[in-house]
């Protein structure tokens, strides 16, 4: 018994030690955002501000800027729409591919999975030209179909796995009652695959919320920027970077992600571990 | 069961939005990219593109800067993939042994994963800046060097920072994935091994690792793809500087496409990367299957 307790304590000590290293950069970010925004680089640099120095002026500055709210809403709107669209579309695809032997099914599914290998950014040139053609350059809503399309392969792959675990008898019972394909989709598949759809959607939200290269390439207008572009703009615009502002804005941008993550923890883990990993 | 006419129509209705969005925004760009890679296609001559066969591919493969970027990408992948897996597995292994606060550790270790690349890159850039915290610590507190080290200004230190960031950000994901896998290993296997007199190491290598082989392969393939996808961190931390020495394939591709307008070149480069990645994924699958 004694030995067991000792081992537990050792394990905890080890975990805490490495945890400190892991969270150090995050703590430094928060601590910098709470320091007065003075010189380019403070000298001597300190890990934590002195107690009497702690200030929320950086946060107040960000909150006092009208464009902060716009950037924030932009991100919410784009990520929210993309997530909803991807959830609907991928559920439909996942359902049909899992249940019906239509011609080209195997080809379609293999192709969707294969596109996951292609590094997303390599398509940026033809996608840029496409955006020019569709007149969605510098358009906020123009981001949505691209984000949706990028998240479809992974989402479809995962949701198909979840659908396959739903007993087929439930479909058949619905058909017996005179229901059609759409009835099964709405009454059986969506409710029962909900945990899977939720976990995929959390992932997609994270992807869309933090997406940087594409939005940075197609959006020029200050007021159309999403949060990551706003952060990097703060960083690049001036000759010297006001780190206090950068990190205060960063902390704000982490809030929605943290909330989603904490409230949906259960789904999050479920999504990571089922589907892809069997065996 | 025979699907009725109405059923077929409804199936089509469900497929249509997905096929449209996926077709227009992913498949069409893939085809377009493939075609572009065989044409002389630059900013200057958008109106008339000349078919030049494999010339773009030859240009890419013989380009000194591409070779640097490709080498950097390979190094990045070969360092960060095992790095993330080993630290992630060890963390999961430890968390799996403890009896209390499991969820707390899991949430905290996961924090870097949900931090966006832009933010994480800026924090690292701030820490590793020449006038930053790390140098102060090394020079004035540990006294290991007398001068501030210019971390961001040389190829290897710049790359190391990006790799360090990649490992730091990926540990949490691996931890969650391996933790779930460890929980599926049947307890009676450990008991049987203990009866046979196996020590902790033997249990790890003869019971645990073979049981979670599927997960290892899954992580390996996903992380390799992730390694080739590295972009934002390098772009924000070093921007490829000095003189494209720290560029990875995607930052180099982006530079060629949007700073010099060499679309044909970039298209060929994109295809080369995709093919390399596909080959690596196939090799990884083969290797894992052979070990059966």
pLDDT of residue A277: 40
Beta bridge partners of B39: B51
- The reported pLDDT for the residue numbered A270 is 61
Distance from the Cα of A204 to chain B's closest Cα (Å) equals 12
Burial of A31 (0-12, 13-18, 19+ CB in 10 A): middle
- In tens, the pLDDT along B8-38 reads 888 998 999 999 999 999 999 999 889 888 8
Which candidate from B24, B91, B228 shows the least CB-CB separation from A119?
Answer: B228
pLDDT tens column, A215-271: 988 888 888 889 898 888 877 655 567 788 888 889 999 998 888 888 877 776 665
* B121-168 pLDDT tens trace: 988 988 888 777 777 777 777 777 777 777 777 888 889 999 999 999
Query: What's the pTM value of the predicted model, to 2 decimals?
Result: 0.87
pLDDT for the residue B91? 92
Can you name the residues that pair with B40 across neighbouring β-strands? B50
Task: Answer whether A231's CB lies under 8 Å from B119's CB.
Answer: yes
The pLDDT value given to residue B86: 95
For the beta carbon of residue B255, count every other beta carbon within 10 angstroms: 19
Closest Cβ opposite residue A243 in set B17, B126, B267: B126
Residue position matching structure tokens 């992630």: B88
What is the DSSP-derived secondary structure letter of residue B262? B
**Contact call for residues B36 and A125 (beta carbons, < 8 A):** yes
Quick check: B274 pLDDT over 60? yes
**What value does the mean pLDDT take over residues B210-227?**
88
Contact A92 B231 (CB under 8 A): no
Q: Using a CB-CB distance cutoff of 8 angstroms, which residues of chain A are in contact with residue B236?
A: 232, 235
**A264 close to B (CB below 8 A):** no
Helix residue ranges, H only, chain A: 2-33, 57-63, 66-99, 105-114, 124-133, 143-164, 168-176, 181-184, 190-192, 194-210, 213-218, 227-237, 243-263, 265-273
Whether chain A has a CB inside 8 Å of the CB on B109: the answer is yes
Of residues B7, B127, B263, nearest to A125 (C-beta): B263
Is the CB of B114 less than 8 angstroms away from the CB of A206?
Answer: yes
Of A68, A41, A113, the residue nearest A233 (C-alpha)? A68
Q: What is the band of B181 on the pLDDT scale with cuts at 50, 70, 90? A: confident
Query: In residues, how long is chain B?
Result: 292
Q: Which residue of A has its CA nearest to B128?
A: A25
pLDDT, residue B19, reads 93
- Looking at the complex, report in whole angstroms how far the Cα of residue B61 sits from the nearest Cα belonging to chain A: 17
Residue A47 in contact with partner chain B when CB distance is under 8 A: yes
ipTM score assigned to the predicted complex: 0.83
pLDDT score for A42: 67
In a 10 Å sphere around its CB, with 0-12 CB exposed, 13-18 middle and 19+ buried, how is residue A126 labelled?
buried
Q: Does residue B206 carry a pLDDT above 70? A: yes
Write out pLDDT tens, residues B63-111. Answer: 889 999 999 999 999 999 999 999 999 999 999 888 888 888 888 888 8
Chain A nearest-CA residue for B103:
A265
Q: What residues of chain A, 134 to 193, have a C-beta less than 8 Å from chain B?
A: 145-146, 148-150, 152-153, 156, 172, 175, 180-182, 185
> If DSSP codes are grouped into helix, strand and coil, which group holds residue B39?
strand
- Residue A243 CB neighbours (<10 A): 26
Q: Under an 8 A CB cutoff, do A19 and B281 touch?
A: no
- Which of 37-56 (B) contact A at CB < 8 A? none
Contacts of B235 in chain A (CB under 8 A): 213
Whether A27 has its CB under 8 Å from any CB of chain B: the answer is: no
The pLDDT score that the predictor gives to residue B162 is 93
Q: Across residues B280-289, what is the average pLDDT?
A: 81
Q: Are A92 and B17 in contact (CB under 8 A)?
A: yes
* Nearest residue of chain B to residue A45 (CA atoms): B133
Mean pLDDT for all residues in chain B: 86
Q: Does B36 touch chain A (CB under 8 A)?
A: yes
A117 at interface of B, judged by CB pairs closer than 8 A: yes
Chain A residue with Cα closest to B138: A45
pLDDT bracket for residue B54 (50, 70, 90): confident
Q: What is the pLDDT of residue A208?
A: 92
> What pLDDT sits at residue A279?
31
Q: What's the pLDDT at B269?
A: 92
- Sign, CA dihedral A152-A212-A65-A224, equals negative
In degrees rounded to 5, what are phi and psi of residue B53?
A: 60, -130
Low pLDDT (below 70) residues in chain A? 1, 38-43, 236-240, 268-279
CB-closest option in A213, A258, A272 to B231: A213
């Amino acid at each position: 018994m004694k030995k067991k307790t000792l081992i537990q304590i050792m394990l905890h000590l080890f975990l805490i030690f490495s945890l400190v290293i892991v969270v150090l950069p995050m703590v430094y970010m928060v601590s910098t955002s709470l320091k007065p925004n003075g010189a380019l680089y403070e000298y001597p640099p300190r890990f934590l501000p002195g107690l009497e120095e702690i200030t929320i002026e950086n946060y107040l500055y960000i909150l006092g800027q009208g464009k902060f709210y716009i950037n924030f809403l932009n991100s919410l709107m784009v990520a929210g729409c993309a997530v909803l669209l991807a959830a609907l579309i991928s559920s439909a695809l996942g359902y049909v591919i899992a249940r019906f032997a239509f011609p080209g099914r195997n080809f379609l599914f293999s192709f969707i999975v294969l596109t996951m290998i292609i590094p997303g950014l390599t398509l940026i040139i033809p996608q840029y030209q496409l955006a020019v053609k569709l007149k969605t350059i510098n358009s906020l809503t123009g981001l949505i179909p691209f984000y949706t399309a990028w998240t479809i392969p992974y989402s479809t792959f995962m949701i198909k796995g979840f659908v396959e675990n739903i007993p087929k008898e439930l479909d058949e019972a619905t058909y017996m009652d005179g229901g059609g394909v759409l009835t099964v989709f709405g009454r059986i598949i969506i409710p029962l695959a909900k945990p899977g759809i939720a976990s995929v959607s959390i992932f997609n939200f994270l992807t869309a919320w933090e997406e940087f290269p594409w939005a940075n390439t197609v959006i020029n207008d200050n007021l159309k920027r999403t949060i990551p572009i706003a952060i990097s703009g703060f960083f690049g615009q001036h000759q010297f970077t006001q780190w206090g502002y950068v990190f205060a804005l960063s902390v704000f941008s982490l809030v929605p992600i943290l909330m989603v993550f904490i409230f949906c923890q259960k789904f999050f883990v479920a999504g990571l571990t089922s589907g892809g990993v069997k065996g | 069961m025979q699907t009725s006419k109405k059923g077929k129509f409804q199936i089509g209705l469900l497929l249509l939005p997905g096929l449209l969005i996926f077709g227009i925004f992913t498949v069409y760009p893939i085809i377009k990219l493939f075609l572009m890679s065989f044409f002389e296609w630059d900013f200057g001559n958008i109106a008339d593109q000349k078919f030049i066969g494999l010339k773009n591919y030859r240009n890419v493969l013989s380009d000194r800067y591409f070779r640097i970027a490709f080498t950097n990408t390979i190094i990045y992948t070969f360092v960060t993939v095992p790095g993330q897996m080993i630290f992630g597995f060890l963390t999961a292994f430890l968390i799996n042994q403890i009896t209390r606060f499991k969820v707390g550790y899991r949430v905290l270790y996961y924090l870097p994963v949900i931090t966006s690349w832009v933010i994480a890159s800026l924090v690292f850039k701030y820490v590793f800046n020449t006038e930053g915290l790390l140098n102060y610590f090394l020079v004035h507190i540990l006294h290991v060097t007398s001068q501030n080290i210019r971390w961001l200004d040389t190829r290897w230190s710049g790359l190391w920072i990006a790799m360090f960031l990649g490992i730091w950000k990926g540990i949490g994901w691996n931890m969650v994935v391996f933790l779930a896998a460890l929980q599926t290993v049947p307890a009676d296997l450990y008991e049987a091994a203990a009866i046979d007199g196996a020590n902790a190491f033997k249990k790890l290598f003869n019971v645990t690792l073979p049981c979670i082989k599927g997960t290892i392969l899954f992580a390996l393939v996903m992380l390799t793809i992730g390694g080739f996808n590295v972009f934002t961190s390098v772009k924000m931390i070093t921007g490829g500087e000095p003189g494209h020495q720290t560029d990875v394939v995607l930052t180099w591709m982006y530079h060629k496409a949007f700073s010099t307008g060499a679309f044909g070149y970039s298209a060929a480069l994109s295809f080369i990367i995709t093919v390399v990645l596909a080959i690596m994924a196939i090799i990884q699958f083969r290797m894992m299957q052979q070990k059966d």
